Amino acid sequence: MKPNTFDQITVKIRKFVAEREWDQFQKPKDLALSLTLEAAEVLEHFQWKNEDEIAEHLKKSKDDLADELVDTLWYLLALSDKIGVNLETAFERKLKINQDKYPISKAKGNNKKYTDY
Amino acid sequence: MKPNTFDQITVKIRKFVAEREWDQFQKPKDLALSLTLEAAEVLEHFQWKNEDEIAEHLKKSKDDLADELVDTLWYLLALSDKIGVNLETAFERKLKINQDKYPISKAKGNNKKYTDY
Amino acid sequence: MKPNTFDQITVKIRKFVAEREWDQFQKPKDLALSLTLEAAEVLEHFQWKNEDEIAEHLKKSKDDLADELVDTLWYLLALSDKIGVNLETAFERKLKINQDKYPISKAKGNNKKYTDY
Amino acid sequence: MKPNTFDQITVKIRKFVAEREWDQFQKPKDLALSLTLEAAEVLEHFQWKNEDEIAEHLKKSKDDLADELVDTLWYLLALSDKIGVNLETAFERKLKINQDKYPISKAKGNNKKYTDY
């Protein structure tokens, strides 16, 4: 399989929706809502579990979790496409911002970002 | 800019994290939790707004929303990478499942998927 | 049935957990995580639906939705109890803050709070 | 302060909203959406933190967290009131269901509910 670019995945989703004439149902607000709900279904796999229990859970349920991750990706791309956000361009811009915000010399091994807000 | 494949974006995230030695802080459960929180920040842009108000909001805040979409993408790819899920392969598999589950002939213009569960 | 105060509901939850010796599993982080997941299950009832479809849905599924609302309440009270927050005192304090923040004379019929942030 | 029953807290929220003529903006779907977003703000306090870091965080930020818990409670009660769910009656019913589902003799010290789903 030749690797997909972001645009190519987006085109596949757009085609799937268009063939079913579902675009009329896909309001941005509902897509954003579904994005959150799918992310919550990802999170549900980690509920009540410590690290060892998660490792154990992943042994038998990785494909189920992968499905939820794909559903999250799906709505993320569908919403971005719907409102005219090029997710890849936006990623490159944000990556630069993060690189400036967390310079390697200061951020190295420092979890301040993670615990202090 | 040459378009990125999913792997290439993932590699950039992995590099960003490795350079800062942040991998030690990135437990799968915390990545899943952050994924949900970032999705919620996307959803916040749509809170209390009807369709017209959303269109108006997007005129001035699309870049802010794009940043939240990227943050969601970031944790989605970081989590997938961390637990060994190839998101692209998983996408192709799920797309086939969805195509079988919602055959065009039956699903066309039919919002049953969306309202009946 | 004599109406319950918040404390009385909390005591019932605490008793339910204690009788089963489940307190050991109820870390604050997991309770907070479950609170979000239960709220998401409430939200799922509204997914893809407009106002009319929601009214229709509630006719047959109000009890199911009520169960999700209770699950949300449960974790809200359990978490508050666990970390020593008196939710009722906190409510009275926040109500006063909101009354000052949104004086009736200015806020009346004004949805600024809801669309401008 | 005399303890509030659930109804009394709900009446206070209803009064706050009515005085500001905000009821027109409070669609059930938006209330459900806000419930999830407020729960996510609760969860944000626990992001990236282990148990010790959470205990430390609570020392200085318990009131901030209490505010988010109250916001969650607010939308929970407002939504229940809006769609005609008596949360207290629903709680008593669900408590009975949970007592039957997890009999003390079987559930005691057993975290099966928490890790196996």
> Is there a contact between A19 and B66 if contact means CB atoms under 8 Å apart?
no
B7 CB within 8 Å of a chain D CB: no
DSSP letters, B28-71, are: HHHHHHHHHHHHHHHHHTTTT--HHHHHHHHHHHHHHHHHHHHH
Which ranges of chain A have pLDDT less than 70? 1-2, 113-117
Q: d(Cα B61, Cα B59) in Å, to the nearest integer? A: 6
Tell me the shortest Cα–Cα distance from D103 to chain B, in angstroms.
30
> Is there a contact between D43 and B33 if contact means CB atoms under 8 Å apart?
yes
Q: Tokens for D40? A: 């996510």
Q: What percent of chain D has pLDDT over 70?
A: 93
Helix runs in chain C, H state only: 6-19, 28-44, 51-83, 87-101, 104-107, 112-115
> Is there a contact between D46 and C33 if contact means CB atoms under 8 Å apart?
yes
- Domain spans, chain C: 1-85, 86-117
Identity of the residue in D40, D46, D48 whose CB atom sits nearest the CB atom of B40: D40
B18 CB within 8 Å of a chain A CB: no
- Global pTM value: 0.94
Q: How many CB pairs under 8 A join A and C?
A: 29
Please report the ipTM that was assigned to this predicted complex. Answer: 0.93
Phi first, then psi, for residue B107 (nearest 5°) are -85, -15
Per-residue pLDDT of chain B (117 residues), as tens digits, is: 567 788 899 999 999 999 999 999 999 999 999 999 999 999 999 999 999 999 999 999 999 999 999 999 999 999 999 999 999 999 999 999 999 999 999 999 887 765 543
Going by the DSSP 8-state scheme, the letter that residue D24 receives in this structure is: G
Q: d(Cα B107, Cα B99) in Å, to the nearest integer? A: 10
- Residue with token string 């009064």: D15
> Is there a contact between D33 and B43 if contact means CB atoms under 8 Å apart?
yes
The pLDDT tens digits of the residues spanning D25-61 come to: 999 999 999 999 999 999 999 999 999 999 999 999 9
A19 CB within 8 Å of a chain B CB: yes
A40 CB within 8 Å of a chain C CB: yes
Q: What is the CATH code for C1-85?
A: 1.10.287.1080
Phi first, then psi, for residue B5 (nearest 5°) are -85, 170
pLDDT for A1 equals: 58
Q: What is the CATH code for B6-85?
A: 1.10.287.1080
Q: d(Cα B54, Cα B56) in Å, to the nearest integer? A: 5
Q: Tokens for D73? A: 């409670």
B33 CB within 8 Å of a chain C CB: yes
